Amino acid sequence: MTDHQLFDLTVGYASFKNPVALAPMAGITDAEFAKKTAQAAGLIVIGAYNLDFETNEAAKRMSERGRKEFITEDPMELLESELEKLGDLDSVIAVNVRAVSTEDYMQAALLARKHNAILELDAHCRQPEITDLEAGEELINDSDKLKNLIQRIKRTGVVLSVKIRANVVENTQLARMIEAAGADILHFDAMGTHGADLRALRDVRDVTNLFLIGNNSIRDFEAAKEMYGRGADMISVARGVLENPELLNELAIATTALQRQTGWYNVPKHLCGGGDLRALTFCCLPVKHCAVHTALKKVGMTPRQFAEFKINFVNGTPLQYGDGTCFGSMAWCCKASKPCFLRDSVLDTIDLSHTEYTELHQNQGTSTENTTTQTHDTNTSLHQPSQHTHTLQKQQEREKTLETSYTTQ
């Protein structure tokens, strides 16, 4: 199995060999830097490139005060030559760009598309020389302008990523707007007051189906896993690569090993451990006061609907078994990484591996996620009568317990 098949990560014409990315650093991450440090990454974001006279003049002023910048008199020629230099890599390339006029963004988008590359809108740069031009982070403050820009760029057919920084405006509203406008990827610098704001990342995951790249302060695989566990489809690294040029390689190897071992590299943390709504798949019957109730309110499901959804979902699958487990069915069982001899003895009996168990839960988690991101429109399958009445009967006794819990809430 190739790495592309192992991860199955595709956005439009871009297919990633793994969910690890180089994040852009102006004046540093060009084709040459990428070839030296990022060949193992599934995605390489180069730039930021300044697409017009105004942004190049701004970059000159920034470099005069010591910042590294890419400055050119012929932006499109530079972009094209950088893309050509990276044409022989099996990583997807994205170009992070800043401009004043929409036309320049569109020209760059056409160029990116010609090279099967992604265009990344730099709505992140907070240097005053750039924000004074109403570019960079200033785009986040003018959501109508950003929306219009996304819609027009998407007409070129390019795969479009939007790079933003957390906590500049309300994160979830911004993410919803970017998705509704038609972007494909949200590259989310989860910058918080002390390192990455993982809660912000999770909240964004919970409101959007965009391909989500989690970024900020990743220096080892543990930090990457924290982001995967909050719903990042991919993680990216900037400063960490300057400190350790082997980091992307190490992260790609570790993520690939995790995917081979578990079948779900970005398995959510349990809800009570800060995971995103996909973690509902690992929740037990909602019989006690815990994080599941808040999550169900977000999803717009009652505990009963949730119970029926889970029961229907596992019927006919090996997860319906589970005599001897806490709730009589592995529909309600914890992540495989949580040691449990009760669940594992059922898995042994029915000869199901941890990876297969996780994959079955993954289908359910994804289904729950789709339900939640459809603006709280509960999935019609919740209301369909079960095809497996017999198994439902076996659940009746457990539902009685559930009934008692509703009346006590």
Please report, as ranges, the residues that interact with ligand FMN according to CB under 6 A: 23-26, 47-48, 96, 122, 124-125, 163, 189, 215-218, 237-240
* Rounded Cα distance, 330 and 347, in Å: 9
What is the three-class DSSP state of 211?
Answer: strand
Does 350 contact ligand SF4 by CB under 6 A? no
- 248 φψ region: left (φ > 0), alpha (ψ -120 to 50), beta (else): alpha
Q: Which is nearer to ligand SF4, 70 or 327 (CB)?
A: 327
Site for ligand SF4 in 141-200 (CB under 6 A): none
Please give the structure tokens belonging to residue 218.
């990743």
Evaluate whether 162 touches 204 at the Cβ level (below 8 Å): no
Q: Which is nearer to ligand FMN, 207 or 218 (CB)?
A: 218
What radius of gyration do the chain's Cα atoms show? 23
Number of amino acids touching ligand SF4 (CB under 6 A)? 17
Residue reference for tokens 């669940």? 343
* Rounded Cα distance, 275 and 283, in Å: 11
Evaluate whether 228 touches 207 at the Cβ level (below 8 Å): no
Q: Which is nearer to ligand SF4, 339 or 385 (CB)?
A: 339
Q: Answer with the entry of ligand SF4, ligand FMN, none that 321 interacts with (C-beta below 5 to 8 A by kind).
A: none
Q: Answer with the entry of ligand FMN, ligand SF4, none that 180 interacts with (C-beta below 5 to 8 A by kind).
A: none
Q: Give the DSSP per-residue string, 370-386.
A: HHHHTTT---GGGGSPP
Site for ligand SF4 in 278-337 (CB under 6 A): 282-284, 290-292, 325-326, 332-334
Q: Answer with the entry of ligand SF4, ligand FMN, none that 17 interacts with (C-beta below 5 to 8 A by kind).
A: none
Orientation of helix 247-262 relative to helix 221-228, angle to 10°: 50
Evaluate whether 232 touches 186 at the Cβ level (below 8 Å): no
Min dist. Cβ of residue 230 to ligand FMN (A):
16
Evaluate whether 221 touches 195 at the Cβ level (below 8 Å): no
What is the three-class DSSP state of 193?
Answer: coil
| Sign of the torsion formed by the C-alpha atoms of 67, 73, 75 and 79 | negative
Q: Answer with the entry of ligand FMN, ligand SF4, none that 312 interacts with (C-beta below 5 to 8 A by kind).
A: none
357 alpha-carbon distance from chain centroid: 23
* Rounded Cα distance, 331 and 307, in Å: 9
Q: Which is nearer to ligand FMN, 174 or 292 (CB)?
A: 174
Q: Which is nearer to ligand FMN, 56 or 281 (CB)?
A: 56
What does each C-alpha distance from 167 to 171, 199, 204 come to in angstroms?
6, 11, 11
Min dist. Cβ of residue 102 to ligand FMN (A):
19
CA angle 242–185–373, rounded 5-degree value: 130
Min dist. Cβ of residue 193 to ligand SF4 (A):
26
Q: Which is nearer to ligand SF4, 109 or 285 (CB)?
A: 285
Q: Answer with the entry of ligand FMN, ligand SF4, none that 6 interacts with (C-beta below 5 to 8 A by kind).
A: none
Min dist. Cβ of residue 97 to ligand FMN (A):
9
Q: Which is nearer to ligand FMN, 35 or 219 (CB)?
A: 219
Min dist. Cβ of residue 324 to ligand SF4 (A):
8
Evaluate whether 50 touches 98 at the Cβ level (below 8 Å): yes
Task: Select the residue interacting with ligand SF4 from 187, 205, 270, 278 (CB under 6 A).
Answer: 270
Q: Answer with the entry of ligand FMN, ligand SF4, none that 350 interacts with (C-beta below 5 to 8 A by kind).
A: none
Min dist. Cβ of residue 122 to ligand FMN (A):
4
Report which secondary-structure segment, H or E, holds 188: strand 185-189
Min dist. Cβ of residue 73 to ligand FMN (A):
19
Min dist. Cβ of residue 296 to ligand SF4 (A):
10
What is the three-class DSSP state of 160?
Answer: strand
Q: Answer with the entry of ligand FMN, ligand SF4, none that 283 interacts with (C-beta below 5 to 8 A by kind).
A: ligand SF4
Q: Which is nearer to ligand SF4, 142 or 323 (CB)?
A: 323
Q: Answer with the entry of ligand FMN, ligand SF4, none that 23 interacts with (C-beta below 5 to 8 A by kind).
A: ligand FMN
Listed in sequence order, the residues at least 6 apart from 212 whose beta carbon sits closer than 8 Å to its beta carbon are 185, 186, 188, 201, 204, 205, 231, 232, 233, 234
Q: Which is nearer to ligand FMN, 234 or 352 (CB)?
A: 234
Q: Which residues bind ligand SF4 (CB under 6 A)?
A: 270-272, 282-284, 290-292, 325-326, 332-334, 340, 342-343
